[in-house]
Amino acid sequence: MYVKSILDEKGRNVVTAGPQLTVRQAAVYLRDNHIGAIVIVDRNDRIAGILTERDIVAAVAKSGADCLDRPISSVMWANVHRCGETATVEEIMEMMSKLRARHIPVEKDGRLVGIISIGDVVKAHIRSIEREAEEIKAYISR
């Protein structure tokens, strides 16, 4: 299964923000949208960074509540690992495991077109295993 299939099924909506948003505002976005990451984009919808719940927790642990009024650009990851729509579930699983990342933005022609979470990957992997089991059962019962 490919990333494109996952995005076609779940949708391509990604919560994004500009780098001037404060950490406090980002925390509210995360809570209100029930998500674990915000992709930071520039004016041309190009990926400029990513901010996750873990990044906020790390910033608070390091700097205290003062960090909440700083721009997210001060705590976001600017070196964002990303993938294309042709990446396979297996490739994304390996990438997430190796990088210890729970969210991978997806881009096409240099522009953000979606995001894949660890939950998306696990669901796709489970569906694939279930489909294979059904095919084996059908083959055996012939």
* pLDDT tens digits, one per residue of 87-124: 999 999 999 999 999 999 999 988 899 999 999 999 98
Number of H-type helices and E-type strands within the chain = 5, 5
Predicted local confidence at residue 57, as pLDDT: 95
Q: How many CA atoms lie within 13 A of 96 on its CB side?
A: 19
Predicted local confidence at residue 127, as pLDDT: 86
Confidence check: pLDDT of 19 > 80? yes
CATH number for the domain spanning 54: value is 3.10.580.10
* pLDDT tens digits, one per residue of 23-71: 999 999 999 999 999 999 988 878 999 999 999 999 999 999 999 999 9
Domain total of the chain = 1
At 85, the pLDDT band (50, 70, 90 cuts) reads: very high
Burial class (CB within 10 angstroms; exposed 0-12, middle 13-18, buried 19+) of 114? buried
40 Cα distance to chain centroid: 12
Report the 10 Å Cβ neighbour count for 69: 10
- Domain residue limits at 26: 3-140
Confidence check: pLDDT of 6 > 90? yes
* Total-model pTM: 0.84
Report the 10 Å Cβ neighbour count for 54: 14
